[in-house]
Amino acid sequence: MSPTPEARPGVVYPNFEKPLLVYVNVPFCNSKCHFCDWVAEVPVADLRLRPETPARRRYMEALVAQIVAQAPMLKSRGHQPVIMYWGGGTASILTPAEMTAVLTALGEHLDLSGLGEVTIEGSPESMTLEKLTLLRSFGFNRVSLGVQSFDPARLRQIGRVHDGEQAKEAVRTARRAGFTNINIDLIVGFPDQPLDEVEATVRTALTLPVNHFSVYPYRSTPGTSLRRRVNRGTLELDLENQFQAYGRARDLLQEAGHPEYAMSYFGYPRCASDEAYYRLQTDWIGFGSGANSLIDQSFCVNTRGRLHQYNQHPEQFDSVVPAASHPLLMHFVSQALTTAEGLAEGDLARRTGMSLEQLYQVPVVRSYLDRMADFGEVRREPERLWIRREDISRVYVALNWVGPPDAETGPRPVAVSG
């Protein structure tokens, strides 16, 4: 695989008729974090597989096999990769040899010459100079680090295996490897978290050579360890505190010159992969167990937590449904409205075959928009659906406390202590 061009990150190139986001999923982590809804369904034994274990070796072989099997179909249909993102799990947990095997398969079976933004996502303790230098040599130009907090007690509470100094050093190592586009993830509004801790976390982040920040309000997801503590009453959540926590983080970042362009996202250049995915700007292919794909108005899923089944049949999706199915439409709307631009009719039509007027007639979508309107102004226009920019964060922090509409029963409340 030859290195990709150093095109300006954060730009989706419209000169391709069928631009494609390439996503590679790495379903392994060094620990099962107590807040993470992604790993809630993944057995710990599978999550923590080591490179030498047979199941992990089979997974890496299966990942390459899926690329080899499905890339020709993508090329034959005219899909042109413009963005690539490696996530998980923890993508940086892979060894240099594992990374090289996947990158080689991608380069041999897809035309990567049009790639702009190329991101590796990972955790601080697994980012080494050797790996980052290798990734730079293959054309990766963006790093996203799951820091979450710099506070020692908070990191222990949420089950992270890195400490604050490791997080800082990982950012510096990425810069030494040649990365200038660096994101860090932070979480605010944890149970019992005081606002001065939020402020200290953000101020520490601002001392680092970072140009993009992802700040997520804590979400009390059923099935996670932290949610069980909330259920038992040993930790308390407060909605107003979450509003204040996010607002304080937002104010500090914007005062430092990092504008908010979508819910949770601050800085420049914008993250092209998130924008393409949330706003339905491109089709995408998901390689790996737990990944999903949107190809030619079909939504294809490799079910999360079924690593061993994936290893046996990596070339087959577990399910394929029309992108215009009602539960998916609600999901797409939920993601698109986190962005300042919202959902454009042209993008919706290309990805699902539906117009906005047809979308507005779907009961579950209409119900969801009505629920959003309880917390902010939702604007339904002929060519665009969006939330007033100053209302976006309030809508989505509030919705963490309210269940989304069900495709059959409509909106349902979720009790945080239930």
Res. 113: pLDDT tops 80: yes
Structure tokens that stand for 124 in this block: 């601080």
Say if residue 62 is in the same domain as residue 181: yes
Provide the domain limits for residue 335.
Answer: 325-418
Paired with 214 in beta bridges are 185, 265
Domain of 249, CATH number, reads 3.20.20.70
Which of 303, 337, 291, 299 lies closest to 321 in space, CA to CA? Answer: 299
Least confident residue range of 22-26, 284-288, 403-407: 403-407
Judge whether 197 and 146 are in contact, CB under 8 Å. no
pLDDT number for residue 123: 92
26 pLDDT tier (thresholds 50, 70, 90): very high
Q: Which of 212, 247, 277 is the last residue of a domain?
A: 277
pLDDT number for residue 161: 82
* Identity of the amino acid at 217: P
Largest separation between any pair of C-alpha atoms in the chain: 56
- Please tell me which residue, 51 or 234, carries the higher pLDDT value: 51
Say if residue 58 is in the same domain as residue 207: yes
**Residue that is written with structure tokens 């007033």 in the block:** 388
The residues near 220 (Cβ < 8 Å, ≥ 6 apart) are 191, 226, 227, 230, 237, 400, 416
The residues near 286 (Cβ < 8 Å, ≥ 6 apart) are 23, 25, 292, 293, 300, 302
35 pLDDT tier (thresholds 50, 70, 90): low
Say if residue 107 is in the same domain as residue 247: yes
Mean pLDDT estimate for the chain = 88
pLDDT number for residue 15: 63
Structure tokens that stand for 116 in this block: 């702009």
What does the pLDDT look like over 245-265, one tens digit per residue? 999 999 999 999 999 999 999
How much of the chain is helix, strand and coil, in % rounded to 5? Answer: 40, 20, 40
- Give dist(CA 289, CA 294) in Å, integer: 15
For the chain, the domain total comes to: 2
Say if residue 74 is in the same domain as residue 219: yes
* 217 occurs within a structural domain: yes
* 295 occurs within a structural domain: no
Say if residue 262 is in the same domain as residue 113: yes
> Counting Cβ atoms within 10 Å, is residue 182 exposed (0-12), middle (13-18) or buried (19+)?
buried
Q: What is the DSSP letter of 301?
A: E
**DSSP E strand stretches across 274-394:** 283-287, 292-295, 298-301, 319-322, 343-344, 378-380, 384-387
* 288 occurs within a structural domain: no
Structure tokens that stand for 291 in this block: 């990944």
How many CB atoms are closer than 10 A to CB 92?
26
The residues near 191 (Cβ < 8 Å, ≥ 6 apart) are 218, 220, 226, 229, 230, 235, 236, 237
pLDDT number for residue 402: 60
Paired with 260 in beta bridges are 266
